[in-house]
Amino acid sequence: MILNGSQILTQVLMEQGVDTIFGYPGGAVLNIYDALYAVRDKLNHVMTAHEQGAAHAADGYVRATGKTGVVLATSGPGATNLITGLATAYMDSVPVVAITGNVGTDLIGRDSFQEVYIAGIAMPITKHTFAVQRVEDLAGILRRAFQIAQSGRKGPVLVDIPKDVTAATTEFEPAAPLPLEQPRKPKQDKLEEAAAIINAAQRPMLFFGGGVVAGEAGDELRHLIEKADIPATYTLMAAGVLGCDEPMNLGLLGMHGNCTTNYAVDNADVLIAVGTRFSDRVALNPARFAKRAKIVQIDIDPSEINKNVLVDCAIVCDVQEGLHALLPMIEPAKHEQWHEQIRQWQAKDYKPADDPGILKPHQVMQAIYEAVEEDTIYVTDVGQHQLWAAQYVRHTHPRSFLTSGGLGTMGFGYGAALGAQTAFPGRRVIHITGDGSFHMNLQEGCTAVSYNLPVITVIMNNTVLGMVRQWQTAFYGKRYSSTDPHRKTDFVKLAEAFGAKGRRCHNLAEFREAMEWAKAQDGPVWLDCMIDKDEKVLPMIPAGGTVNDLIID
């Protein structure tokens, strides 16, 4: 059949199983929006307040569902507004396909109105970018874009389509999605080497990251842990893969992990790293990270081997396949002495003091957890509240704690929460943010209201930029440069101005009551939680430090 470029785009999106896209219209994508109008019953378009919000929404949609997300923006500023969202997705290996319009091919390269070379700008923050030149190439490029986004280590791909290509017609033949490119198979000799290292371990630790979520390898991970009696710790990207009540799950590792996990990794004789990239928030000092351990790494991306930390044995493959192949070679073991040592560390680990008279961050997190259903999706922004949520929300399911780990994007949360709520209208979505992060993208309040998305936003409001201020307290002699902006924003009134609802809370009882009230509302709610500006995220290991530098007060 003969279709124009815009119709080809909508057809290929539907071929790929896409039923929801996030975006914002504009001049260069008028033809595309016209084609979307024709298929509006099959392809739901969610319009945000800003393209950045749309990019984060597509990202949150992916993180919650495991599907590929789609974001659509016009040329020029529409396209550049996607950049922070694409970089966020790239750092956390999230498969998003970004479609941008561009000026017509006859206007490209002439500094035309709303022209920008987005395929070049996005190059270092995507897996790949395409600049379509001819309508005949469009369907093939779009199918390839989905294949690249989903194959191997996943990530964002951008397809830039000039306006004349969206109008030009060509013959279109429907086709099934391209098969995914297969990752490398685990090598037998490396598996044997890894098994020998693990079987000889006295003090083994397992450390896993977002690759286990992307590779859906939670069950295999659990089997390995149980069979070889290996305690486990995780990065921010992998919260919820193991339930918080599973005894082998010691909790979060790294800069704001607990003391026990950091001591355990430091003292381990074998460290098995699965689907993780030894980021500088975990391997704070790469030369001294797990310095007593032989390190076995399983990862799908060969460029992650020896990138930050040199390893003793590397298996490059899909993590699920690698763990599955490794399991039969692992001998059942018990490490009672090691567990005893870990229990001693746990008994002495950092515990924040309760105070129901005010709002203590850890108590807010516990109160949220106690108030909501087990299948709740938690989405955070970036800063102190993000780490409190990582530490004190009791994570029990993968894809239920959505956070910007690699890029650390303040302003990620609200868009991502709206994306998650769009994917799962029946599940509770809690957006945990701070007053600093929320100010960056709170205009998406209008989107939450327009689509009646009942996200509950919990604002940990300390009136300052808490995380930066915490560093100023610890390392800059309490010189609070530009972290106390004296803003007078009234979040309750602002929620109401958007057409949402809001409440302010000063103590735990008020907060618990506000949560019950929020749950009963049919639409977005903002809860403004006043906390002390001197609250810190603890424990903390400073950048570049080791367990010897742990700060607990």
Q: Looking at the annotation, which residues are catalytic?
A: 51, 113-114, 163, 467
| Residue 303: Cβ-neighbour burial (10 angstroms; 0-12, 13-18, 19+) | exposed
CB 469 within 8 A of CB 532: no
Q: CB count, 10 Å around CB of 489?
A: 16
What is the smallest separation between the CB atom of 124 and other proteins, expressed in angstroms? Answer: 6
Report, in Å, the least distance between residue 314 CB and other proteins: 5
Q: How far is the CB of 190 from other proteins (least distance, A)?
A: 8
Q: Which of 36, 104, 43 is nearest to 75 (CA)?
A: 104
Among 182, 188, 303, 337, binds other proteins (CB under 8 A): 303
- Provide, rounded to whole angstroms, the least separation between the CB of residue 191 and other proteins: 13
The least CB distance from residue 123 to other proteins, in Å, is 6
Those residues whose C-beta lies under 8 Å from the C-beta of residue 210, and which sit 6 or more positions away, are 92, 93, 235, 237, 238, 275, 276, 405
Cβ 70 vs Cβ 18: under 8 Å: yes
Among 87, 148, 161, 194, binds other proteins (CB under 8 A): 148
Backbone angles phi, psi at 432, to 5 degrees: -100, 125
Q: Strand (E) positions, 440-524?
A: 456-461, 501-505
Q: Specify the residue, 119 or 259, whose C-beta has the smaller distance to other proteins.
A: 119
Nearest to other proteins of 133, 463 (CB atom) = 133
Our separate counts of H helices and E strands in the chain read 22, 20
Q: Note the helical H segments in 412-464.
A: 412-423, 435-441, 445-450
How many angstroms separate the first and last alpha carbons of the chain? 69
Q: Report the nearest approach of other proteins to the CB of residue 530 (Å).
A: 42
Give the residue with the Cβ less far from other proteins, 27 or 302: 302
Task: Based on the shown chain and the rule CB under 8 A, indicate whether residue 310 belongs to the binding site for other proteins.
Answer: yes
Q: Which of 67, 184, 324, 427 binds other proteins (CB under 8 A)?
A: 184
Cis check: omega of the bond before 539, within 30 degrees of 0: yes
Q: How far is the CB of 218 from other proteins (least distance, A)?
A: 25
Interaction of residue 301 with other proteins, rule CB under 8 A = yes
- Residues 113-142, one symbol each (x = binds other proteins by CB under 8 A, - = not), give ------xx--xx--xx--x-----------
Residue closer to other proteins, measured from CB, 266 or 299? 299
Q: Which is nearer to other proteins, 105 or 463 (CB)?
A: 105
Does residue 96 belong to the site contacting other proteins (CB under 8 A)?
no
**Residue closest to 550 by CA, chosen among 538, 536, 534:** 538
CA distance 411 to 381: 6
Find the binder of other proteins among 27, 302, 523, 545 (CB under 8 A).
302
Reported as type and span, the H/E element at residue 232 is strand 232-234
Q: Which of 169, 306, 344, 521 binds other proteins (CB under 8 A)?
A: 306
Binding of residue 182 to other proteins (CB under 8 A): no
- Verify binding: residue 307, other proteins, rule CB under 8 A: yes
Give the binding site for other proteins (CB under 8 A).
Answer: 119-120, 123-124, 127-128, 131, 148, 184, 190, 287, 301-303, 305-307, 310, 314, 316
